[in-house]
Structure 1
């Protein structure tokens, strides 16, 4: 069975740090609506959608597990792993187990 994993984005507007320049863009996004669109389309073709905890996904090294903050958009770990911080987040999200049954229903 195919699975799409999405970050659980509740309270993102309260926790996200942003500049005034980007504040309007952040607060105009409809995260819930986007998740529902993805869930509805996935359901039509038999793909399960689950939410995962986004905590530290872009800060945890997928090789050694050490937490590091990215400098600009670049993630570098003392173990030698280097990549874009969004890739680090994606790797960590895909590796999270699906165990809590927190599915998005269409």
Structure 2
């Protein structure tokens, strides 16, 4: 069964749906999004070994080519999907915790 997550980018006003499935040595990721930049990277066949490092990373390279802002949450969402599909992040633990958040306390 594929992994699906929702990324709520409330600062930019967009909600994105990211779905990924491990196929051989690649994670095939599709993103439904109203954002033009994210649409340009919406279908990716990500080599599993190119998600291990934050600097030399297929997803981050694609986000940079799409000219995503440095604070865009979608690349992180894609990497969470990749980690769950490869078993490096527990799907049951992720579901139990339900979400990851950033809280702006001192603004």
Shorter chain as denominator, the TM-score bin is under 0.3
Q: Point out the structure with the larger strand share.
A: 2
Which of the pair has more CA radius of gyration?
1
TM-score in terms of structure 1 length: 0.25
TM-score in terms of structure 2 length: 0.25
Report 1 or 2 for greater relative contact order, CA contacts < 8 Å, sequence distance ≥ 6: 1
